[in-house]
Amino acid sequence: MNRLQQITVLGATGSVGLSTLDVIARHPNLYQVFALTGFTRLSELLALCIRYLPRFAVVPEVELARGMQQHLQAAGLATQVLVGEEGLCQVSVDTEVDTVVAVIVGAAGLRPTLAAVNAGKKILLANKEALVMSGALFMQAVRKSGAVLLPLDSEHNAIFQCMPNNFASGLSQVGVRRILLTASGGPFWPNPSVDLEHVSPDQACAHPNWSMGRKISVDSASMMNKGLELIEACWLFDAKSDQIEVVIHPQSVIHSLVDYVDGSMLAQLGNPDMRTPIANALAWPERIDSGVAPLDLLAIARLDFEMPDEQRFPCLCLARQAAEIGNSAPVILNAANEVAVTAFLDGRIRFPQIASIIEDVLNLEPVVVVDDLGAVFEADARARTLAAQWLNRNVR
Ligand code: NDP
Ligand code: MG
């Protein structure tokens, strides 16, 4: 009998982390949890440890680790608690680990995910910010180590399913004309009369089709999520940004499409539930049950498509520009967006100011070559400082 696949979940306490554990729990004959990590939701992490009995748990600070270790011992568990980024990297490269599920949100996920890549692991990637920040380095490392990189983002997983096996030889080589990235449009799309100056964080996070963490929910509302996904798709599928079109599809049933030169267009459809791409990537190239209900086409009845409105949602346009400029431009875009989204969620700025901050920081910060991780994090830090200065100037 094959041994159980050992899985590390980086960001287990989040939305995609919990969906991943739900799929894993359906297949105890295939998968075993090796490590789980959390950041602020540590009582949830403790409950997950009690349920999944991982070898390791990772928390951000030494004091928190002591408390967690005591709770685990009191519950009779042998789980060892590790600390901080070093702990995250350790559970990503351990020789016993087969698969690393990279679902930390934001730049914080980059180092451990890249460590897993360098160690040649199978990586299930939802942490799009990691790829946006360091796409060239990341993909170089994948090729060098032989790591298997599988996309969890529903659009990219859909594209992956619609691509031929040999797509790495180049899109034109395999007859692909363009990639169509679908976007729900977020909570404000259906109603053009919504005054974006006065929307609240809770309104921005009330996504019509998906239940997600707050940062990506705001990104979806601003369309920056689609912008980050465009950059993510460029790296994953070795595409130029002008080979990728964004189309609004409010039902979120078609998760993306690939258009071939012979006139065929392949699409992947499914209910909007992250457990489908997770199950697809976990079991690839096989298929396993994800727990997701089958799609009821008659109940859906119709599928709509519209052009994005880049005037009302300028973030998509900013991301496309950053993709075209390349080098550190996507790092700057991502860092400014992370600072701006946090400020919006904290009630410090209005929704349209997210795009203003990003645009101003992109204009102010010179674009440089980023040929190592140090250069990536330096560009990231400079952009965050500029965004913080913007806030100090414009927000009381
Ligand atoms: P959540 O906010 O729900 O979860 C984020 C996870 O990252 C949590 O486990 C959180 O820990 C952890 N975390 C946050 N900050 C840090 C840090 N500084 N160091 C270490 N760990 C940290 O986000 P989602 O699950 O929604 O999204 C995760 C990633 O997946 C994002 O990059 C997102 O863009 C991408 N994604 C998400 C989709 C979705 O449906 N949700 C769909 C496609 C992509 P804690 O909760 O304990 O604070
Ligand atoms: Mg997505």
Burial label for 272, CB within 10 Å (0-12, 13-18, 19+), is: middle
Pair type for strands 56-59 and 5-10: unpaired
Give the residue whose CA is nearest to atom 42 of ligand 1: 153
pLDDT band with cut points at 50, 70 and 90 for residue 322: very high
222 in a known ligand binding site: no
Average pLDDT over residues 291-295: 98
Question: Is pLDDT at 1 greater than 60 in this prediction?
Answer: no
- The CATH number of 5-151 is 3.40.50.720
229 alpha carbon – ligand 2 mean position (Å) = 7
134 in a known ligand binding site: no
Q: By percentage, how much of the chain surpasses pLDDT 90? A: 96
Question: Is pLDDT at 21 greater than 60 in this prediction?
Answer: yes
Confirm whether pTM is higher than 0.95.
Answer: yes
Average pLDDT over residues 79-103: 98
pLDDT of residue 210: 85
Tell me whether the omega of the peptide bond preceding residue 285 falls within 30 degrees of 0, making it cis: yes
pLDDT of residue 132: 98
Question: Is pLDDT at 282 greater than 90 in this prediction?
Answer: yes
pLDDT of residue 115: 98
207 in a known ligand binding site: yes
Across the chain, mean pLDDT equals: 97
54 alpha carbon – ligand 1 mean position (Å) = 19
Closest ligand to residue 38's CA = 1
Closest ligand to residue 233's CA = 2
- Per-residue HEC secondary structure of the chain comes to CCCCEEEEEECCCCHHHHHHHHHHHCCCCCEEEEEEECCCCHHHHHHHHHHHCCCEEEECCHHHHHHHHHHHHHCCCCCEEEEHHHHHHHHHHCCCCCEEEECCCCHHHHHHHHHHHHCCCEEEECCHHHHHHHHHHHHHHHHHHCCEEEECCHHHHHHHHHCCCCHHHCCCCCCEEEEEEEECCCCCCCCCCCCHHHCCHHHHHCCCCCCCCHHHHHHHHHCHHHHHHHHHHHHHCCCCHHHEEEEECCCCCEEEEEEECCCCEEEEECCCCCHHHHHHHHHCCCCCCCCCCCCCHHHHCCCCCECCCCCCCCHHHHHHHHHHHCCCHHHHHHHHHHHHHHHHHCCCCCCCHHHHHHHHHHHHCCCCCCCCHHHHHHHHHHHHHHHHHHHHHHCC
Average pLDDT over residues 39-48: 98
5 alpha carbon – ligand 2 mean position (Å) = 26
pLDDT band with cut points at 50, 70 and 90 for residue 2: confident
76 alpha carbon – ligand 2 mean position (Å) = 39
DSSP bridge partners of 259: 178, 265
167 alpha carbon – ligand 1 mean position (Å) = 29
> How many CB atoms neighbour CB 360 within 10 A?
18
Q: Which of 9, 101, 103, 345 to mutate to test the pocket of ligand 1 (most atoms within 8 A of CB)?
A: 103
pLDDT of residue 396: 74
Give the residue whose CA is nearest to atom 35 of ligand 1: 126
Q: Which of 16, 40, 129, 226 to mutate to test the pocket of ligand 1 (most atoms within 8 A of CB)?
A: 16
pLDDT of residue 241: 96
Q: Which atom of ligand 1 is nearest to the CA of 44?
A: 47
Question: Is pLDDT at 340 greater than 80 in this prediction?
Answer: yes
pLDDT band with cut points at 50, 70 and 90 for residue 362: very high
Average pLDDT over residues 59-71: 98
Q: What residues are in contact with ligand 1 under a 6 Å CB criterion? A: 11-17, 38-41, 103-105, 108, 126-129, 153, 210, 212-213, 215-216, 274
- In order of 5, 84, 219, the CA distances from 47 in angstroms are 22, 20, 29
Q: Which atom of ligand 1 is nearest to the CA of 210?
A: 40
Hey, what are 88's tokens? Answer: 């995250």
List pLDDT tens digits, range 244-254: 999 999 999 99
155 alpha carbon – ligand 2 mean position (Å) = 5
Average pLDDT over residues 300-318: 96
pLDDT of residue 104: 98
pLDDT band with cut points at 50, 70 and 90 for residue 159: very high
Closest ligand to residue 210's CA = 1
Closest ligand to residue 255's CA = 2
